[in-house]
Structure formats: structure tokens, C-alpha cells
A and B are shown apart, each in its own frame.
Chain A
Amino acid sequence: MKNGTLFFFGLFASLTLSFAVVLLANHQLGALTPYFDDGEGKAFPDRMPGVAARGQLVYRDLGCASCHTQQVRRPGFGADQTRGWGERQSVARDYIFQAFPQLGTMRIGPDLTNSAGRKPSALDAEDLMNLLYSGQGAMPAHAFLFNQVKVTGEIPAKALKLTGSAAPAAGYAIVPSEQAQTLVAYLLNLNTVYDYPESRPVVLAAAHAEGAHQ
């Protein structure tokens, strides 16, 4: 390679070409709009309430995505549906209002895409607080998200109801910090309620019946 200018140009063009792939994806996905359902008279997905959006920052800062994904794969590709993580696959439209989508790369713990919509029953705020405080199995305790306060008079309303060895000393109570409260608000907001047209699995027979490939 004797021609330095040409070599430099080749390098530049190669990487530009690969970034063009990203830009092409952005052309397809970057302007996705919410889907308006005439029947329900509203658009989906919903925006997260402010407290949940702040909770997503806590989720990101703690690095929860190192163990939990937030992407349900399509039926037939993995056991995501049979594990109860969601009845449909996640699609790009699910994430359009999220400032920091937490797709994740590891499943050391369960997927959380739809953790507030689990059937028959999802964990409620109290369950989540206890899980965060005490940990369970491979999930480490996050006791640093809680404060131990001296109780003078009434027990604070937000105090965890702990029993056994986890219970604080007499005269003390464990109350969640603001971080823990926003994080739990975020987890309670993780719920993919709406079935978008693109999230329904393609059924080949039905597609043929409707006149595809004509």
C-alpha cells in the first residue's frame, strides 16, 4: 500500500459504511410514534410517570442490567413465554419513551420487562422492598438502599415489616431511602400491556389466506 491518501480514505470510508448501517436502522426506528388504538381511544405506550423515570436512573446506576434483561424474545425462540415473562415479544415501540432503555445482556436473574404484569400475581411494593433489603438466592441484598432510624413514638408508615433475624433491634425501624422508593416505583411500572400489530407472531397460514405473496 504505497498510496497513503488512498489508504486513509479507504479506512475512513469503511467505518462510515458500517455507521451507515446504524443510520439505516435509525431511519427505520428513530421516528417510531406511539400507536393509537381507536377502540381504546388512546395511544400506546404510555409515558413513564416522573418517579418511575427517576427509578430507571437508579436501576442504571446500580448496574441492575448486569444480571437482568428487559427484552422478551419471540415465542419459539427460547422459553421466555413459558417462563411467564410476557405473552408477546418486545418490540422497538415499547422503548420509545425510555430515556435509557435497559435491554441488558445477562440473565443471572429473571427478565424484568413485564415484572409488574406477571400472572397470576406480580410482586407488590412490599415484596419488592423486602427482596431488595434481604436479597434472595443469587440476588444480593441491597441493604445500603435503606436507613435504620430510631423510633420515637409511632413507627414510620414506610418502615419494612421484618421478622426473625432480619428484624432491626428493638426501638429501631428500617425505612427505604428515596433511591429505593423510586426504584420500586420503576419496577412496579414495568408492564407491557398493549399488543402492537408488529408484536403479534406471524402465522404463515393466516398470511397466505389474507393474500400475502401475491
Chain B
Amino acid sequence: MSHDTQEVSSNDVHARGPLLLLLGSGLVWLVISGVLALIASVQLHTPTFLASCAWFTYGHVQALQETAFVYGWLANAGLALGLWVLTRLGGEALRAGNWVTVGGLFWNLGVTLALVGIMAGDATGHSLLQLPRYVQPLLLIAYGAIAVAGVLAWSGRRSETSYASQWYVFAALFLFPWLFSVAQVALFVLPMRGVMQAITAGWFAQGVFTLWLAPLALAAAYYVVPKVTGRVLPAYQFASLAFWVLIVVGAWTGGRHLIGGPVPAWISSLAIVACSLLVFHYLVVWLNLKGALGHGGAVMKFTSFGLLAYVIGGCADAFTSIRSFTVVTQFTYFTQAQQQLALYGGVSMLFFGALYFAVPRLTGKTWASAALIGGHATTAILGVLLLVISLGVAGWTQGQALLKPAVTFPEIAAATRPWLLLASAAYTVLLLGNLMLVVNFLQTLVAKPTASAATLFQATSDIKETA
């Protein structure tokens, strides 16, 4: 039996409206961030591009694309998929769906205001926390409203025992507001002094990835892989250990961006040790989920690529945090390559995989176009590979040149230019692929329900059958 056929639960009907709203708005932000990323990339090799416009300085566009991608696309998609997984595994219909709808509307209003604010020059200047400070409380409240449904799904779950996906979603739902509110106080309400701001911002930025986005992506992967492959996860008994290693050690790695910086050396040394400890987490995730590789179908194509990128990216973080690597890669495009590998290659690709799995079940319809799915898979994989390689080579070239005092900055710009052009091409390919996803999503939404889907309107198979 093909696993792409419909398997609709009556529980999904309750989740349909709120979760499709989140997914749909996430996709809008995905395209917007794609356009902005392309503009920023072009500005790197063609500095005159949009230079006359105060709203679109490179600093602004870079902050805009990052905010639209993380708080627009990844947050919306991650919350939607996380809530979906949590309600399905809980065995009950989504409760407090109205809270999700209202929270989602305000969250997206907040992201819109944030982008306008950044264009007007109100970005905070902290990586992954560029949101102007006046938008942050609104986002925190909106997030709380969305998370209500998650808390109810967790506490109302039918089975006492819980599955890895549930731990990861619940942790992500709870830890993000913890991080976000503390960062707001420590950076803006009662700002810490001097370099403490950089240390706190580093702690937050690392936490956004390791305690919020990565858990949401892993929750989706842990749910989808056994569903599609129909096999028990190997070495599942270690999954809880991997979970706790990520949660306990994850946010300690924030100091690795400050290696050699004006902070006490123990801060970066601690980060380097934490990066190495996390390798254990990546190893177990790999052992658990490697069954996704070599499996056919779009869902597993995205998921296995995302898994590889997540594991390789994590190990690369551990390697490059070693000081003899850092001295070359620090302050270069190489760090951008690492970030794109983690956020786009890892988290986003795992979300794509789960999205292709979830949307037919949420809507009760098959995807409108198989060709567009194939096109998206090809362009996304090609685009991420091209992007990470081109930025990585550009960064390594730049890093080696920076170590030679005789090489001037115009010479460095000339040496990296071909690779930056390639990065712009990669952003174009990614944008095209994401447009295919949006078209397919919209066509699926407006299509009439297929007869076969209606007959398959039956109770969902429980995760216990597969896991």
C-alpha cells in the first residue's frame, strides 16, 4: 500500500482550520524571506543594489530575511506541525483551536510589525533576536495563546506513557517563552552592561535553535519516520538520553561565537565542551531515524535530507568550535553557511517533509500536483547544497585571506565574488522551489474533496502500531 494515500482521522477535522492558517501564513513568510534573502545576497556582490534606499541597507535586509524566515516561516510551520503531532499522539481532538487561530493572527501581525520596524531602523542588532523591542511582548502573548492548545493536548493525552515526539514538542512549547521573556528582560527592560549583552544574546540565539526549532523539527521527524517506513525505530531506548542531552547542554553552546572575543576564556571553553557533548545527541538521533534514508516518496526525501543536514551540521559545529578552526572561520561567510545548513538544511527540510505528510491528512485531499512536489524536492535539495557549499567556500577563502595582512578588503571581495554569485543563484533556486510549494498548497486547498478521501475517513492508526 502506498503510504501517501489518505489516512484521515476525525480528530484532524477539528485541527484543520487553525493549523492550516498557521501553515499557510508560514508559507507566505517563506516566500517573503526568500525574496529578502536574495536581495541581501545580491547586495554582497553588487553593493550598489538598492543602496540609495535607507530601508534596504544590507544590515536591514539581512535582519529582515532572518526574522521573516525564523519568526515567520519556521515558527508558524513548527507550531502547526508540533500541535498536530501532539494532538494525534494524544489521541484526542485539538482543543482550544480558537486560541490557536487568534494567537496565530496576532503572531503574524507581530511579525509584520517587526519587519516594518526593522526597515525603519529599529532592529536590536542581536542575531536571531532582531525583533524591535516594542513587538516582543505582543509576540510573547500570541505565542502563549497558541501554546494553550499544546498544553491541553499534552495534559489530556489518553496514554500515560509518552513518545519522543511528545517530549520534543512539549519542551519546545514551554522553553521558548522562558528563553524569550528572560532575554527581553536581560537585554531591553533592565539591560545588562557591556559585553554581557553579547553573552546573553548568544545564549538566546543558541537556545532558539537547540531548544525551540530543533526540538520541533525532531518531533516531526520522530513522528513521520516510523509512520512512513512502518518499522520500529532502532535504538529507541536511547532516545530519552538524546533528548536530555540536547535540553541540558544545548543552550551552553552560545559562547562559541565569542571565541577570542572580549569575554573571559571560560565562556568560550565551556561552549566548546558543550558542542562536543552534543555530538552524542546527534549520534542517537542518527541511529534512531536513519531508516528514513533510501525510502521512496517526497516525505522521506525531505526528511532524510533534513536528518543528514541536522547531524552533519551539528558535528560541523563541534569541529569548527575548536580554536584552530575558529581562527579561520570566525567572522566569515562560513558561519552563514553553518547557520543555513542548520536552519534551512536541517530544520526547514524536516518541516517540509512533515508538511507533505500532514497537509493531505488535515485537508482530507491528496496533493494537487505530484510534479510540483517533485520539483520542490529537487530544487530544495539542490538549492541547499549549492548554498551551503558556495557560502562555505566563500567563507574559507575570506578567512584565509583575513589571516594575511597584505590582502586588502577589495581583494577579498574580488576573491569571494564568484562564490557569492553562486550563493545568489542558490537563493533563486530555493525561491523557485518554495513558489512551487505555495502553488501546490493553494491548489490543494481550493480543490474539491476527492471521493476516495471521504471513504478513508477513519480512525487514525496509533503510533504504537509503528513505533
Residue positions of A touching B, CB distance < 8 A: 1-2, 4, 7-8, 10-12, 14-15, 17-19, 21-22, 25-26, 28-30, 32, 60-67, 69, 71, 73-74, 77-79, 82-84, 89-96, 98-110, 135, 137-145
Q: Which residue of A lies closest to B417 (CB)?
A: A138
Number of interface residues of B (CB under 8 A): 78
Residue of A nearest to B264 (CB): A28
**Binary flags per residue of B278-309, CB closer than 8 Å to A gives 1, else 0:** 00000000000000000000000000000000
**What 1/0 mask marks residues of chain B from 36 to 61 whose CB sits below 8 Å from any chain A CB?**
00000001100110011110011110
- With contacts A2-B161, A61-B123 taken as known, whether A25 is within 8 angstroms of B194 at the C-beta atoms is no
Identify A15's interface contact among B47, B251, B398, CB under 8 A: B251
* Known contacts A62-B59, A101-B194, A22 near B200 by CB under 8 Å: yes
Q: A73-B261, A100-B125 are in contact. Are A140 and B194 (CB under 8 A)?
A: no
Q: Given that A21-B270, A82-B405 are contacting pairs, would A107 and B196 also be in contact in the complex, using a CB cutoff of 8 Å?
A: no
Q: Is B331 an interface residue (CB 8 A)?
A: yes
User: For the complex, is B197 an interface residue (Cβ under 8 Å from A)?
Assistant: yes
- A103 and B174 contact, CB distance less than 8 A: no
Instruction: Select which of A17, A62, A64 is within 8 A of B248 by beta carbon.
Output: A17
How far is A141 from B48 in the complex, measured between Cα atoms in Å? 7
Say whether chain B's binding surface is mostly helix, strand, loop, or mixed: helix
- A71, chain B: closest CB distance, angstroms: 5
Report whether A1 and B335 are in contact in the complex, using a CB–CB cutoff of 8 Å: no
Among A8, A93, A141, point to the contact of B51 (Cβ < 8 A). Answer: A141
Whether B263 pairs with A2 at a CB distance below 8 angstroms is: no
B148 within 8 A of A: no
Binds A, one of B12-20, B175-183, B224-232, B341-349: B175-183
In the bound complex, do residue B59 and residue A65 qualify as a contact, i.e. CB atoms below 8 Å apart?
Answer: yes
Q: Is B244 an interface residue (CB 8 A)?
A: yes
CA distance A110 to B408 in the complex (A): 9
Contact A18 B63 (CB under 8 A): no
The verdict on A103 contacting B332 (CB below 8 Å), with A30-B196, A61-B122, A63-B59 known, is: no
- Cβ–Cβ contact A11 & B63, under 8 A: no
- 0 or 1 for each of B310-325: is its CB under 8 Å from A? (1 = yes): 0000000000000100
- B77 to A: closest C-beta gap in Å: 22
Given A22-B203, A107-B402, A110-B409, answer yes or no on A65-B125 (Cβ-Cβ < 8 Å).
yes
Query: With the chains together, A74 CA to B330 CA distance in Å?
Result: 14
Decide if B200 touches A96 in the complex (CB within 8 Å).
no
B413 & A138 in contact (Cβ 8 Å cutoff): yes
With a CB–CB cut-off of 8 A, which chain A residues contact B43? 140
Known A1-B167, A25-B263, A100-B125; contact A15-B179, beta-carbon cutoff 8 A: yes
- 12 more A-B residue pairs beyond the given contacts A14-B247, A103-B261, with a C-beta to C-beta distance below 8 A: A10-B244, A21-B267, A28-B264, A65-B125, A67-B58, A73-B261, A79-B403, A79-B404, A91-B262, A138-B409, A140-B43, A141-B52
Q: B257 to chain A: which residues have CB within 8 Å?
A: 105
- Is B362 positioned at the interface, with any CB of A under 8 Å from its CB? no
Interface centre among A4, A92, A110 (most CB of B within 10 A): A92
A101 touches B160 (CB 8 A): no
Task: Please provide the 5 A-B residue pairs with the shortest distance between their CB atoms, ordered closest to farther.
Answer: A63-B59, A61-B121, A18-B251, A95-B194, A107-B331
Bound CA span A62–B51, Å? 12
Given contacts A2-B160, A15-B178, A67-B58, contact A21 B203 (CB under 8 A): yes
Q: Does B248 contact A14, Cβ atoms closer than 8 Å?
A: yes
Docked complex Cα distance between A141 and B56 (Å): 12
A102 adjacent to B125 (CB under 8 Å):
yes
Residues of A within 8 A of B122 (CB): 61
Query: In the complex, which residue of chain B has the Cβ closest to the Cβ of A111?
Result: B331
Chain B residues numbered 164-219 whose CB sits less than 8 Å from any CB in chain A: 167, 170-171, 174-175, 178-179, 182, 186, 191-200, 203, 207, 211
Does B418 lie at the interface of the complex (its beta carbon under 8 Å from any beta carbon of A)? no
B63 CB, nearest partner CB in chain A, Å: 6
Q: Are A92 and B409 in contact (CB under 8 A)?
A: no
Q: Inside 8 A of B330's CB, which chain A residues have their CB?
A: 78
Residues of B within 8 Å of A19, CB to CB, are 182, 203, 251
What 1/0 mask marks residues of chain B from 94 to 129 whose CB sits below 8 Å from any chain A CB? 000000000000000000000000000111010100
Interface of A is mostly: loop
Complex contacts, B44 vs chain A, CB 8 Å: 108, 138
Would B270 and A78 count as touching, CB distance under 8 A? Answer: no
Tell me how far the C-beta of B55 lies from the nearest C-beta in chain A, rounded to whole angstroms: 9
Residue of B43, B193, B199 with most chain A CB atoms under a 10 A cut-off: B193
Q: Is B260 part of the contact surface with A, judged by Cβ < 8 Å?
A: yes
The residue on B at minimum CB distance from A59 is B125
Shortest CB distance B56–A (Å): 10
Among residues 249 to 287 in chain B, which have CB atoms less than 8 Å away from a CB atom of chain A? 250-252, 257-258, 260-264, 267, 270
Pairs across A and B, CB under 8 Å, 10 listed: A1-B167, A22-B203, A30-B193, A92-B194, A93-B194, A95-B195, A96-B194, A103-B195, A103-B262, A144-B54
Residues of B within 8 A of A71 (CB): 261-262
Task: Judge whether B260 and A77 touch: CB under 8 Å.
Answer: yes
Residue numbers in A under 8 Å from B170 (CB-CB): 7, 11
Task: Judge whether B25 is part of the interface by a CB distance below 8 angstroms.
Answer: no
The answer to the question of B62 belonging to the interface, with a C-beta cut-off of 8 Å to chain A, is yes
Q: Known contacts A89-B262, A109-B409; decide if A26 and B196 are in contact (CB<8 Å).
A: yes
Closest chain B residue to A95, Cβ basis: B194
Q: Please tell me if B162 contacts chain A, counting CB pairs below 8 Å.
A: yes
Which chain B residues border A60 with CB–CB below 8 Å?
123, 125
- Shortest CB-to-CB span from B117 to chain A, Å, is 11
Set of chain B residues within 8 Å of A64, measured between Cβ atoms: 59
B240 is an interface residue with CB less than 8 A from chain A: yes
* Per-residue A-contact encoding for B122-160, CB less than 8 Å = 1, 0 else: 110101000000000000000000000000001100001
| CB of B327 closer than 8 Å to a CB of A | yes
Tell me, in angstroms, the Cα distance from A91 to B195 when the chains sit together. Answer: 9
A31, closest chain B residue (CB): B193
